[in-house]
Amino acid sequence: MRIAVVGLGKIGQPLAALYASLGHQVLGADVNAAVVTAINSGRATVVNEPGLPEKLARSVAAGRLRATTDTTDAVRQSEIVLIAVPMLVDADRALDYTMMDAAFGAVARGLQPGALVLLETTVPVGDTRSRFGAMLEGSGLVMGRDFSLAFSPERVQSGRVFRDLATYPKVVGGIDDESGRRAEDFYHELLGAPVLRLSSAEAAEFCKLAESVYRDVNIGLANELALSAERHGLNISEIIAAANSEPQSHLHAPGIGVGGHCIPVYPYFLLAQAPHPIVAAGRAANEMMPAHAADLLAERLGELAGQTVLILGLAYRAGVKEPMLSPASALAAILRERGARPLVNDPLFTDEEIAALGLEPAPLIAPEADAIVLQTYHSEYHDLDFSRYPRCRVVLDGRNVLDPTRVRAAGMCYVGIGR
């Protein structure tokens, strides 16, 4: 098959490499010229994705994968068009269609009769058909007659994309029966994993939002329970472990915030269309946790003004080089507002990359730190020697993973979330 993959980021790049490794001709399209140049030289730009560098290099060398900045031309040469361009919200939590609209406009200009268009980016319910299908019809072709259109959300996590693709059922839903059938056949042939074909594109869109919002609300509940445990002088980690021994309980873990492209974003796709009090409450509970972390530090330090706080981990999740909506950035901003000096360390990022985000980079051993906040539990932080921080008085364990006895043995105050 001739496949165009539009958007060569954390999802699109592995998909392009996978499909090319299976013997198909893949044209990857991205507006970032540096990404395109790297891929054409056989080098993956998505890091810490096991198997990607090898699959991509072999596919480029075999002539089955190449990249271009000309999305329209890539689509013009392809019978299958897969779109994996980010859909975000802006600083006011309003939906930001900028990248998606640009991508679909370019796709429409190159769309060929008989093509199957697959949207993998999570979108609000109805957008596949009403917004993006209508944009594709700007080509003069009619969806359902001249081209097929289906929604099939990515259900993978960075750092394990290939494993997840081979394991989790692939959800698909078409704008009509023929679109759904073609999408089901495509994914069944290429992935080998089970395919769940739903009744419509809208059902598939809602499925992705439901599973994502569930996680956000669950974490929000865990955070509220953690605050209550603090008021009662209890250990929320002990309580959740015991509660989850009952088969009906599936409480997630509390923390100092939720980051990434997905969980803190997708609830707003629902909230933009109708009021959802529980969804809004879960989002509010999670968004206030960086401020709560700052309050915990202030209680133990006496004040934040003039204090230096070392934040360990910029990435929103361990082992993943992604700063999108990281709680580290939110916490650093709050600390600055309260007169503290936040420092940020992350082994996955260079000092220049950290500084480009408006943060002050620091080495892992920063002797000037008055307090340490563990935000991301990278493997590099598993065996911290707290004795190497002579000024540190407080360690805030933002993920409840550190051994409190080791912290206290170094003469420091241990603080956990809900502990």
CA distance 415 to 395: 6
The dihedral formed by the CA atoms of 113, 116, 119 and 124, expressed in degrees to the nearest 10: 70
CA distance 165 to 156: 7
Question: Which of the following is catalytic: 262, 321, 392, 413?
Answer: 262
* Residue 272 Cα distances to 167, 181, 283, angstroms: 32, 31, 13
DSSP state of 234: -
262: its two tokens: 């997905």
Determine what percent of the chain falls in helix, strand and coil, rounding each to the nearest 5: 45, 15, 40
How far, in whole angstroms, is CA 39 from its chain's centroid? 22
- The closest alpha carbon to 356, from 346, 370, 366, belongs to 346
Do the beta carbons of residue 116 and residue 126 sit within 8 Å?
no
Q: Which residues of 190-206 are buried (b: 16+ CB within 10 A; e: fewer)?
A: bbebebbbbebbbbbbb
**Residue 207 annotated to the active site:** no
* Residue 150 Cα distances to 72, 179, 346, angstroms: 19, 6, 39
Do the beta carbons of residue 24 and residue 17 sit within 8 Å?
no
CA distance 229 to 331: 22
Question: Which of the following is catalytic: 208, 321, 392, 413?
Answer: 208
Query: Dmax of the chain from CA atoms?
Result: 72
Do the beta carbons of residue 289 and residue 328 sit within 8 Å?
no
- The closest alpha carbon to 31, from 119, 91, 106, belongs to 106
- The closest alpha carbon to 388, from 361, 402, 415, 406, belongs to 406
Hey, what amino acid is at 245? S
CA distance 196 to 187: 10
Residues annotated as catalytic (active site), given as ranges: 208, 262
